[in-house]
Structure 1
């Protein structure tokens, strides 16, 4: 039960008063040595020069007073080192001035005493005692105490300065970092994950920990791993914007706090920050959110497919990662039957992981002999929940005899013994939350079934323990590291499978093609390319009217895409792929060369030959087939027949870029005022573009080369496709140069990467035409 605040205040006042009273007694005796003779004999010996116990008592009272101040406020941002330093300084000055006051001789008493007092803070001690009757020997107890307090102040201030400068230095380094891997939440389980992130961070990337609690015990450990620790509120949009330079230097964010709701709040801030801006090197930031509940995690992941391609949003959680480690262990030991005892969230996560594993087995490898049985009084209800959860996304769960539940006692060794009878390598996992009763039941099972390996959940472990508790009994605990490695999130899992399918269909017999290396050996460029393709496929399907979760009010199943939809999606995917290669230095070449960064298909969609377009369409079909295999099905969000054949006034419509401009690359940041009167800014390396009507704007180098074709000198021709709609007067559009307010007759234009900008009507009429070449209405 928490103590009332008034009690804390009373304790603080009592200990502060006792400390001050004892200090004043010592100061008075030092100032007037004759006072000691008037004290009773029992008290006199406590103020003598050799009374070390008095110094110890004064120190204890001072520490108690500080703890009474610090403990109730330790979670607040307060200058605790400054408070402690000020108290010690006051104590040292008071005692030393009193001790030195009568020892100045013919010198000025105040200034001499002050000078000698200040010398204490650098370790110099003046000893004039015994020189006169007013300055008797030996050194008074007050000065001995003052000397200790002064040195403690000096070292404390030095430590505080180091801490303050370290915090400010970390903040400065984080703000100027070119690439940032952001981490929030540094509990003990997250700290292990941070250790692996630090060991595998890409070159040139800084790990930045944004922590709310300045007294968090793991801050020092995070810094020891090489992380920059910045104190502040992770959910504060303004602070995130400053730290991440409005999202431009964000490479990845791992939100690892134990409260899922807080992590989701920070995730929404980051998505809004990054959307419409994108990385300058074409890399899409990764956003990994800790949501421990497996159902909530899967729902959030699918709903946030729409965040791509601005950011790859995914989830991890202790149940999800622990379930994956347990399943990997079962496969390593080649278990032929897996018995799950209990009906916890971990049981559900294991069932979902098993269902996913079977879907992948059906596509990529021979099925294993592993089957699963759930033992719990609520086993039937648990399996029904599992099937319901899987059907929500168009999948089939663990149906059939391998998914049968058993209505029995979870701790019955007899029941479990019957279930594993006849199995060669049975594995029993007790998924009930840790307790002394579950541990005793696991010990009983292990003792009665010596040929069966038993795993029991305890609070003492993270992951599966290396050593057995006894014989065939091993402990495991919740973890964020799968087999001691960084967990593979959902999108990376799909991207890896896509790469493996591609390599199997088009192997490289020479072993020299960098894009067909095994996934662990694949460069970051090709890994990001696979991730980009999956994210773009899911994003453009969303724009085409598909959802990756079954609509709540619909019983319609997932349906295949039409040829027209495939064609439109292939066009968008080609433009996204073209942009990614351009931003990473690739250029058009008649023959492909991975070493020279040349590709024959780096052309506008309209310039591709039939073979290249067919390859793009097949790529989209293959991506959708793979997603379906892995449990992601596109559901129609509405009846297609109910859709209007013509877009409404606020819908984005397809247009082509036309016309020529002049462009000059800038070597310094600059700003200018747009036609609508808004202050805009460009960065060094961006291009200053001048249109045929004299209007000017900025564009990034990668975007210029993606959307314009160089003609000669500073002349560039506009190419590619966009979508546009009439703007709503007064609406605010977040552009890459800054927010812009739409005026009457302005148009809002969006490219395939969701970058948006505002174009006046006259400029839009001169610069864009619809796909069929008709005049704009």
Structure 2
């Protein structure tokens, strides 16, 4: 069984505190009424001590259902009549409350073990607390597995405890809907996530937080590379990456006076790098032909090295942005940029330092950056994010000036702890890119949306077709293993394997076989002409019998695979022989 202190107690409801206060006041009133009533009663009947100590003694006995002056019956004074019923009621409540507290842990363990459709959050740091509040506010029941209560021996002991099957069973993993591993240690989160995926059952979703974005990519690659995925869905997420995606979803990069915006990123931190990559992704959608590059200045002590790493990891960056790395600080940038033809102020500024006080100080003292318009200067904050309530009337208090709306304090953890955003895992993101590549390819061949139900944006795509894209994305690892290849994060030097024609042919055959089995299992049958209502399709035949134009479609789809993976930060490497 799970030790009771492994599971965090949910916040106490305010009504319980009110009820306790009411009964405490009732106890005081019963004691006072009993004292006065006993004094009146004993004075009338005589035979008992009537000094203050005797009265207090008899009065206390009322709370345990008896006092000698009451043994001969009434009538009793009204105050005593009230006290002889109120006092035992207070005692009964105290006994019930004591039993509840005594057995609360056992009852909670039993309730958690038998819960259904709940969410398990492991950890008790800022991320875990924020996520728990967001889930509860959305109406989900949350079982918290608190790391500080598991053991005082350190994160290694926490990891061993969290991956113990009895701990997971105690949290009700067999009937849980999702598990979030959000401790402050990435290794612990990975251990919890892997254990939960191993012991959980579909449709359980498991999400493990990883602070290092490169390690996060590596773990995603290894999970996606499995030949056969387990029943539970496992994904690893990075707070900075999610926050950057949320930032540009809410406030996209737009053209300024018909030109690309001029952007400055201060700090090549994990969040700074995520911001750079995400804004490039978004701008590429707005300008798919790459006719207008976004001028972007990256300011950091190691800006040149960071820019080289990013363009190596994400090749599309150089086709979208003109990155100007400046090795140094803010002062170096302010002196260099005007001479380099980059006028100040920039249109958008992202202050991404991990040191929150430094970030806020930079924003409040660099007046050269204040003139980019409303919300143009974004400051990364975590624990100081509540300060945003103090800046400008838009946040309510308005006790500090927000620089005419230019200043935006951005709480990274609060933005990233969105269950829907975390649930948008790697398979989902790859499925979207696969669909977008398919739409572009079909339109290039002259297809129009009216002729094909799949030629619509992802948000409008029928759920059956979304599932098909997800299945294709989930199968990438198996197909690469068939070629003796694997996924690798585009981190550091390495040789990317360039697929050759026989390998593309093999991938096309494997993908067709997977699609064929999937469609036949769904009740589709072969017919010369497609009929979605009757579930008839001309491609439902073995590869050898497939029409040439349908083979070409499969070839086009698999040829996009290296590009799709590169956009996600992966490359294909050779690890064996086909």
2:374 is the counterpart of 1:469: no
Aligned to 2:461: 522
2:339 is the counterpart of 1:402: no
Aligned to 1:346: 271
Q: 1:536 aligns with which of 470, 475, 481?
A: 475
Cα displacement string for residues 240-273 of structure 1 (whole angstroms, at most 9, x for unaligned residues): 5799997xx8886554555433321122124434
CA spacing shift, 1:527–1:626, aligned 2, 3 Å: same
Deviation, structure 1 residue 496: 1.6
Q: Distance in 2 between matches of 1:584 and 1:160?
A: 54
Deviation, structure 1 residue 455: 2.2
Q: 1:190 aligns with which of 124, 131, 134?
A: 131
Deviation, structure 1 residue 520: 0.8
Aligned to 2:187: 261
2:440 is the counterpart of 1:504: yes
Cα displacement string for residues 74-127 of structure 1 (whole angstroms, at most 9, x for unaligned residues): xxxxxxxxxxxxxxxxxx9x753463455344xxxxxxxxxxxxxxxxxxxxxx
Q: 1:272 aligns with which of 198, 203, 208?
A: 198
Aligned to 1:294: 213
SS of residue matched to 2:135: helix
Q: Within 5 Å, which residues of 2 pair with 1:553-592?
A: 557-592=495-530
Q: Within 5 Å, which residues of 2 pair with 1:730-745?
A: none
Aligned to 2:66: 99
Please tell me whether the aligned partners of residues 546 and 634 of structure 1 are also in contact (alpha carbons under 8 angstroms): yes
Deviation, structure 1 residue 292: 3.1
Please tell me whether the aligned partners of residues 344 and 368 of structure 2 are also in contact (alpha carbons under 8 angstroms): no
Deviation, structure 1 residue 319: 1.0
Cα displacement string for residues 544-579 of structure 1 (whole angstroms, at most 9, x for unaligned residues): 221322799x96621322333233333332232233
| Count of residue pairs the alignment pairs up | 504
Aligned to 1:455: 378
Q: TM-score, normalised by structure 1?
A: 0.53
Please tell me whether the aligned partners of residues 48 and 141 of structure 1 are also in contact (alpha carbons under 8 angstroms): no
2:231 is the counterpart of 1:315: no
Q: Distance in 2 between matches of 1:462 and 1:585?
A: 54
Aligned to 1:647: none
Aligned to 1:375: 299
Aligned to 1:337: 262
Q: Distance in 1 between matches of 2:529 and 2:170?
A: 44
- Between Structure 1 and Structure 2, the one with more helix by share is 2
Q: 2:420 aligns with which of 486, 491, 496?
A: 486
Q: Distance in 2 between matches of 1:541 and 1:104?
A: 89
Please tell me whether the aligned partners of residues 130 and 137 of structure 1 are also in contact (alpha carbons under 8 angstroms): no
Deviation, structure 1 residue 519: 0.8
Q: Distance in 2 between matches of 1:324 and 1:422?
A: 28
* Alpha-carbon RMSD: 5.2
Can you give the 5+ residue segments of structure 1 that lack an aligned partner in the other structure? 1-18, 50-91, 106-127, 200-206, 217-232, 280-284, 644-777
Please tell me whether the aligned partners of residues 207 and 235 of structure 2 are also in contact (alpha carbons under 8 angstroms): yes
Compare CA radii of gyration and give the structure with the larger one.
Answer: 1
Please tell me whether the aligned partners of residues 363 and 629 of structure 1 are also in contact (alpha carbons under 8 angstroms): no
Aligned to 2:165: 237
Please tell me whether the aligned partners of residues 413 and 444 of structure 1 are also in contact (alpha carbons under 8 angstroms): no
CA spacing shift, 1:240–1:523, aligned 2, 3 Å: farther
Q: Distance in 1 between matches of 2:185 and 2:539?
A: 47
SS of residue matched to 1:634: strand
Please tell me whether the aligned partners of residues 210 and 237 of structure 2 are also in contact (alpha carbons under 8 angstroms): yes
CA spacing shift, 1:101–1:540, aligned 2, 3 Å: farther
Cα displacement string for residues 52-74 of structure 1 (whole angstroms, at most 9, x for unaligned residues): xxxxxxxxxxxxxxxxxxxxxxx
Aligned to 1:652: none
CA spacing shift, 1:169–1:523, aligned 2, 3 Å: farther
SS of residue matched to 1:594: coil
Can you give the 5+ residue segments of structure 2 that lack an aligned partner in the other structure? 1-23, 150-160, 396-400
Aligned to 1:303: 222
